[in-house]
Amino acid sequence: MEQSWTGLPVSAAFVPFLDRLVNRVAADESWIVPASPGEVVALPPTTAGVLAPAGLGPMTVPGDGRITVPMARGVYFLRGARADTVGALEVNHDFRESRLEPAGEAAIRAALGEDAMVLNARGLDRELFRGARRADLIGPLLVSALVLAVVELVLAAAGSRPGRKA
């Protein structure tokens, strides 16, 4: 911890470092409890309360040690009986929201209802592009643009002939 060896003692990371050192290494009582909003979780046995964000009072922990996780995301510190920090409750969105795998037909119907129409790739193409042949106007629009360009050229050339008297 010499200042010539590291800048840690004079940096903003020093206090969190000391907190981790004292709580995790020396006391060996620090816990991290990951949870999703609204989930019911069991807290460590040494937890007497949960410190809420500013403006809200501390939440008390019932005798069974289970609480309903707040809906607001963030880190809630767990307070021990002697008012020391014994861990943290990390509230994040459900981890399943980040999984990028296709859902099965049963999961889709369970989420959207039995009337949901589940299509494979071929059926999706058929539904998306069913009317594409009737709606293709590229050819007629290009021909119309060409005709208008020729008419404009003829009118512009007729109006600029030398020797024409008005």
Supply the pLDDT for residue 144. Answer: 96
Residue 90 identity (one-letter amino acid): E
In the prediction, which pLDDT does 130 show?
74
Which residues partner with 42 through β-bridges? 66
The predicted-structure confidence for 58-75, as pLDDT tens digits, reads as follows: 777 888 888 888 888 888
The mean of the pLDDT values for the chain is 79
Question: Distance (Å, rounded) from C-alpha 54 to C-alpha 147?
Answer: 71
Q: Summarize the confidence of residues 142-155 as an average pLDDT.
A: 95
Q: Give per-residue burial for 52-61: e unless 16+ CB within 10 Å, then b.
A: eeeeeeeeeb
Exposure letters 26-35 (e unless 16+ CB within 10 A, then b): eeeebbebeb
Tokens encoding 56: 């809200």
pTM of the model: 0.43
